[in-house]
Amino acid sequence: MEDPAPSPTPLLARRRRTYVGRDRALITAGYVGSFFAIGVCLASLGPLLPELASKTGRTLPELSFLFVARSVGYVLGSLLGGVIFDRVDVTHAPLVVGNLLCALGCATLPSLSALPSLAAAISTQGACMGLLDTGGNVLLIWLQGPTRVEPYMQAMHAAFAVGAVASPLFIEWALTELRSFAPAFYSIAAFLALCSLPLATYRGPLAPAEDAAARGGGGGDGVKDRGEREAAGRRCAVRALVCGSALCLLFAVGAEVTFGGFATTFGIEALAMSDGSARGFASVFWGGLAAGRIAAVPAAARLSPATILGASMAGSLVFSATACLPAAPPAVPWVAAAGFGFSLASIFPTVLTHAERATRLSGRVASLFVVSAAVGELLMPLCVALLFVRTPAAFPRSVLAACVAQTVAFGVAHRAARRLSRGVLRGMAAR
């Protein structure tokens, strides 16, 4: 049920649209289902590369640029989402369109055999996923509010991880039992269309009105001067928090997508695995990611975001370094893949809640975070694709470098968050 606003002006009424009870639960379920589908689509390309190589007559390294094509679309879709959701009144309309276009891409992919048409379809699918990613994160914050959103954010990203781990297994089952990956993609398309139903029923939440108190103002000259200096210092800390968080997401998502996308090819080229074992290797990574996302839901109720992020950073460094070990026993890469996925799992949603605890996040800032993650998804696979042709060992080394960079970026963001939370800036003028 939509709560009517008491304001007599249409604009204010528009900015106060909220949902409660069953309506809010159904909308949240639509977001969660859409993220499950994004996870399925995102993890499907890596296990599909051997089949696409056979179908197109290209080598696996040559097809690696498909990750770049999808990432370009993802960035464009994320940028488009950041513009659209702050301006449209029916915020669910872009989500429904994105779901349906992504479903259409999944339905047509099995019939494509020419490399340019494959690249175009996958790039379009990436744009739709970027739009859905931006919309899901931003609209969930607007729907649930800053005091309620944390467990729902973790649950939504857990659904993404469950979809990602199910995708390689589903494709492997279709190839083994049905001798074709087409039924798997038809099923994914049908599920995406189904997720559009609850979203099409409602107009969608809108951004909350700007907090007038946050803009400052009032008081005498001395108070006003102190307030201006305090506000300037706070803006500087907020910029550091936002930039550090955005860079952390850039490297974290880049490492996640790169590992999940190249794990199958790395298993075949460097670890001498069969096609089926290499798909299982990728599934182990996504399984660790799913387990970590599920574990993060109760953990978020007991631990602070900073504690969760600190443990995640440490784990990602340890397991990515383990994956770089030369001549390791056969079980070591599998353990490293599972542990790395588990460590990365909670970084994206927890970075959002970590920043939100220190300062009020607008839809524009949330969109910036998603776009930063999309840029990481674009740049990291591109770099690895160029290096992988020379040596497969560049894959785990690049992932380790990204983990070091994300840890440094988080350190910058956490320092700014502590300054904001402790009120250091509010006392600067008095010292």
Could you write out the DSSP letters of every residue in 140-207?
HHHHH-TTTHHHHHHHHHHHHHHHHHHHHHHHHHHHHHSS-SHHHHHHHHHHHHHHHHHHHHS----P
Cβ neighbour number for residue 232 with a 10 Å cutoff: 11
The residue-averaged pLDDT of 321-325 equals: 86
User: Is 16 a residue whose pLDDT tops 60?
Assistant: no
**pLDDT greater than 80 at residue 342:** yes
Q: Which of 369, 387, 95 minimizes the C-alpha distance to 253?
A: 369
Report residue 15 as tokens.
Answer: 């900015």
User: What contacts 248, CB < 8 A, 6 or more positions away?
Assistant: 347, 351, 406, 409, 410, 413
pLDDT band at 161 (very low <50, low <70, confident <90, very high): confident
Taking only the tens place, the pLDDT of each residue in 368-420 is: 888 888 788 778 888 888 888 788 888 889 999 999 999 999 999 999 888 88
Q: What is the DSSP string of 12-34?
A: HHHHT-EE-HHHHHHHHHHHHHH
For the question of whether the overall pTM of this predicted structure is more than 0.85, the answer is no
As a whole number, the mean pLDDT across the chain is 81
CATH number assigned to the domain with residue range 18-208+223-426, chosen from the 4 options 3.90.650.10, 1.10.10.10, 2.40.160.10, 1.20.1250.20: 1.20.1250.20
Q: How confident is the model at residue 363 (pLDDT cuts 50, 70, 90)?
A: low
pLDDT tens column, 218-264:
454 544 555 566 667 677 888 899 999 999 999 999 998 888 878 88
